[in-house]
Structure 1
Amino acid sequence: MRMRSKYAIILFFVAALVIIEKENNIISRVSDKLTLKFPQVDVVGLNNTISARVLTENDSLLASTSSSVLNCVLPQAAIKWEDTQERSGRKHLILMATTRTGSSFVGEFFNQNSNIFYLFEPLWHVERTVTFEPKGANAVASSIVYRDVVQQLMLCDMYVLENFLLPMPDRHVTAFLFRRGSSRSLCEGPVCTPPKRGSSERFPCRLRRCGLLNMTLAMQACLQKQHVAMKTVRLRQLEFLRPLVEDFRIDLRVIQLVRDPRAVLASRMVAFPSKYEAWKKWADQGVVPDDEELGKLRGNCENLRASAQLGLSQPPWLKDRFMLMRYEDVALEPMKKAHEMYRFAGIPITSEVKKWIYINTQSSPGSDNLYSTHKNSSEQFEKWRLTLPFKIAEVVQKVCEPTMKLFGYKLAKDAETLANRSASLLEERRHFGVA
């Protein structure tokens, strides 16, 4: 309860930030309303006990509370964070993407490295625990919370996730960490404790049976690894990562993974049919989606373009710390692109990574599984061209043309061109420039 109250306070600061910055014209069109999915937390009366402060652009909401949070959750034999984080050569990497862009596949390039502590979508719990009311400051407020959680995770503070787990862990042990099995680091060595009779996990390890996840052991494993990496589709605005880049304890690199917006929409229509019902009705029945659906598509493309343009412009705080990577290029030349990403990250590639890439990009036993990372990548990445109706592709091209131009995706002039896979829709790009 104490930890949930602390995050209720943090979220109150978010609301205060939104209101104050709105008054100063720093952030436009924001709302002071938010919703907590903590049923036990009573936020009534917080105004009587908490005084809001003005936060600067680079303020961290967790920075002011991290010491008290750690004091509450760390055991008596506390880990010396500063000494550990200053280990020579430790690198930190964020693979930033959106859904259905191949991020799970590309993330495996780092998950398979035994020298890297890799986390798969750790913000999944944050998204489901804390929501902001629609048409408000959702993008701003959620990005701040996401950013500060990521900052703590990069420092191996796994306890920070406990504040967003429902039910809350018992003595730092949980059965509910999302996709634990997608992180080798959480399923190997001392972290893989013997399972107890009668206990079960919602997201168990895939290759071996392990007991419930002990966050203390996970944190110790993180501190013992040479590097830290994570994959997330919930960080959408690069600018919010500036405090992490400027944190002297974190040597951060960011890879923004993108994919042809036409392919992304085609994949989402299959993977999330209920969310994309309007588009499916258009494809099947000719019912044109309303302006709200088109607005979502436009907003997604513009967010991608804004982050990419910021990264490619290489401002001083981000110099040599940003890479734009197209999924199509990875699919066509996975080993070459893996080497490029590892060189950028400043981390040596290992033989186990190379072996995984070779095995998992040459054949396709799991190609029918939408979420499989085992597929013949050079043949799979353009299958959408045979199924997406041209009338939908044409709308995507119209709405997302500036983004497609920046990323080097060619427009299809007609249905024949779209379906002709011998006609490439990719511009050859060795380097990306700001449009």
Structure 2
Amino acid sequence: MKGRRRWRGEHRRFAAVLVLYTLLLLLLVPYALDYGARRGRADEEPLLRRCPSLEEALSEWGWEQRPPLDEEEEEEDEAGTAGAAGNGSAGAAGKRHIYLHATWRTGSSFLGELFNQHPDVFYLYEPMWHLWQALYPGDALSLQGALRDMLRALFRCDFSVLRLYAAPPAPRDPLAPAPPAADNLTTASIFGWRTNKVICSSPLCPAAPRTRGEIGLVDGAACEEKCPPRALRELEAECRKYPVVVIKDVRLLELGALLPLLREPGLNLRVVQLFRDPRAVHNSRLKARQALLRESVQVLRSRHRAEPRGSPRHQQQHLLLPPGLLGGGRASQPQHRAEFFLGGALEVICQAWLRDLLLARRAPGWLRRRYTQLRYEDLVREPRAELRRLLRFAGLTVPPALEDFVLNMTRGAAYSSDRPFLISARDAREAVHAWRERLSRQQVRQVEAACGEAMSILAYPLSSGDAR
């Protein structure tokens, strides 16, 4: 009897172990499958935790929605673009629109100038400057919708949108009466007009020293002297003649804001996003701190909208504070207040870069075909190769004179300039490495702490303490 009870007890224990083993298997199998999927994205998970607004940004992209063209139309569009690049007949592929997506001090003016020089391109330099000036101190995130609507109008050669934001230029004669409101805006009202190849050449400027097709920088003083202001409707007419319209700007904070334009079937929009080593960006921004102060404030004000209150990053102190600012001893000095705003804005920009990079990784095929990335360092080190790649992406030919131009612009005698916003020939090697000599070790560490995740994706190695 005792043996039978012992056998029954062992049988019950064996049955219980078998049940537990079965339950364990049922739990382990889906966990293993889920682990494999999560392991494939292991490099993204810590970044997602550092980006509390990324999931909202991902949902805004709306992956489930249809692309602007079906597969057959997309293939025809790509074939037409390739044909246009090969035989010079750009009109065969239809009008194309390129947005150069960048931030301040990344080399975007140089990149934009390459398109400004191309004879088949109608180029606009930072037209959204007018919007930011008119709506100051609106924060960068809040202004993205208005900026996108302005882009849509400008890409369609409708410059009437400028009347909402641009003030008419002051009369050259101080005794002349002021112009009546913004109805009489001219080409001289557009930001950066003195170096625009279309405005400063025939037919808008018959007396221009250079033709539109001649490659070379525009002399701004000569353009202002020889090219009288023309009505915006005349500039719109010129815009409609060109097969490619390119707009460069630095005020769009997030790539996701462009999705409605990328989906718009008749717009045929493509985006080139420019990146640069954040340490070099910070070094360059410090050189132009006063000129960038107002817009840095607008970027910094976006921090509290981009990250929920109570999140770990919201509770952190700013990583890019200049030394001694929190101590109060030097906080009252204007140069250190400016460095505070510039450093905080760079941290916001790096987080926006991180969201853009992760969004681009998850983008569907049709969207990846309309988007490309470029590092400033690659552009200045291999200027001809990168120029060919960019123009091929835009469906443009590669004029030999433009290849010579981009090479000469990256082989200048020096990098430093008293006018940091002036486009001129620079020494590419110094442009890439200048931050190593000019930033302190503490500044380098602060930038790397704030921008390390984006730097990792962009293959910018962390420093080994070789800064001052």
CA deviation map 1:341-381 (0-9, x unaligned): 11222222223321321332222377524223321223332
For residue 98 of structure 2, the aligned residue among 69, 90, 93 is 93
AA partner of residue 175 (structure 1): A
Q: Which residue of 1 aligns with 2:301?
A: none
Partner residue, 1:370: 420
Structure 2, unaligned runs of 5 or more = 1-52, 64-89, 169-180, 209-217, 298-319
What does residue 104 of structure 1 align with? 109
Structure 1 position 207, deviation (Å): 4.5
% of aligned pairs identical?
29
Q: Against the structure 1 CA distance between its residues 193 and 157, is the aligned structure 2 distance closer, same or farther, given a 3 Å change threshold?
A: farther
Q: Is 1:126–2:131 an aligned residue pair?
A: yes
Indicate whether 1:190 and 2:203 are aligned: yes
Alpha-carbon distance between aligned partners in 2 of 1:410 and 1:294, rounded to the nearest angstrom: 20
Partner Cα separation in structure 2 for residue 333 and residue 312 of structure 1: 25
Answer yes or no: is the 8 Å Cα contact 2:278–2:451 preserved in 1.
Answer: yes
State the partner residue of 1:252. 269
Q: Measure the CA separation in 2 of the matches of 1:264 and 1:302.
A: 14
* Structure 1 unmatched ranges of 5 or more: 1-24, 29-54, 59-84, 196-202, 420-435
Deviation at 1:106, TM superposition (A): 1.2
Measure how far apart 1:299 and its partner are: 1.6
Q: Residues 412 and 160 of structure 1: is their aligned pair in 2 closer, same or farther, counting only changes over 3 Å?
A: same
1:140 Cα shift?
A: 3.6
2:237 paired with 1:230: no
Q: Tell whether the 8 Å contact from 1:329 to 1:337 is kept in structure 2 after alignment.
A: yes
Task: Say which structure, 1 or 2, has more relative contact order (CA 8 Å, 6+ apart).
Answer: 2
Higher mean C-alpha deviation, range 364-373 or range 185-194: 364-373
SS in structure 1 of the partner of residue 422 of structure 2? coil
Question: For 2:129 and 2:265, how far apart are their aligned partners in 1?
Answer: 27
Q: Which residue in the other structure is 2:37 paired with?
A: none
Hey, what's the Cα distance between the residues in 2 that align with 1:108 and 1:215? 22
For 2:18, the equivalent position in structure 1 comes to none
Quick one: which of 301, 315, 320 aligns to 2:350? Answer: 301
DSSP-derived class of the 1:264 partner: helix
In structure 2, do the counterparts of structure 1 residues 349 and 194 end up closer, same or farther at CA, with 3 Å as the change threshold? Answer: closer
Q: 1:176 aligns with which of 186, 189, 194?
A: 189
CA distance in 2: counterparts of 1:250 and 1:317, whole angstroms: 15
| Count of matched residue pairs | 329
SS at match of 1:191: coil
Alignment CA distance shift 1:57-1:321 (3 Å)? closer
User: How many angstroms apart in 2 are the aligned matches of 1:397 and 1:190?
Assistant: 49
Tell me how far apart the structure 2 counterparts of residues 337 and 358 of structure 1 sit (CA, whole Å).
11
Deviations 1:367-404 (A, max 9, x none): 52422332122333211211100111011111211111
Tell me, yes or no, if structure 1 residue 157 matches structure 2 residue 154. no
Q: 2:433 aligns with which of 361, 382, 386?
A: 382
Aligned residue number for residue 50 of structure 1: none
Which protein has the bigger helix share?
Answer: 2
For the 8 Å contact 2:272–2:372, the answer to whether it is kept is yes
1:210 aligns with 2:227: yes
- SS of equivalent to 1:190: coil
Instruction: Output the amino acid matched with 1:300.
Output: I
Query: Does the 8 Å contact 1:143/1:236 carry over to 2?
Result: yes
- Paired residue type of 2:254: Q
Amino acid of the structure 2 residue aligned with 1:312: R
Which residue among 395, 403, 426 is the counterpart of 1:346? 395
Distance 1:144 1:282 in 2: 38
- In 1, are the aligned partners of 2:187 and 2:235 still within 8 Å (CA)? no
CA contact (8 A) 1:269 1:280 kept: no
For 2:61 and 2:447, the matched residues in 1 are separated by 37
Aligned pair partner of 1:405 in 456, 461, 466: 456
Contact kept in structure 1, 2:91 and 2:243, CA below 8 Å: no
Q: Which residue of 2 aligns with 1:72?
A: none
Matched, 1:144 2:135: no
Provide Cα deviations, 1:96-120, integer angstroms capped at 9, x if missing partner: 1110000011111111101100110
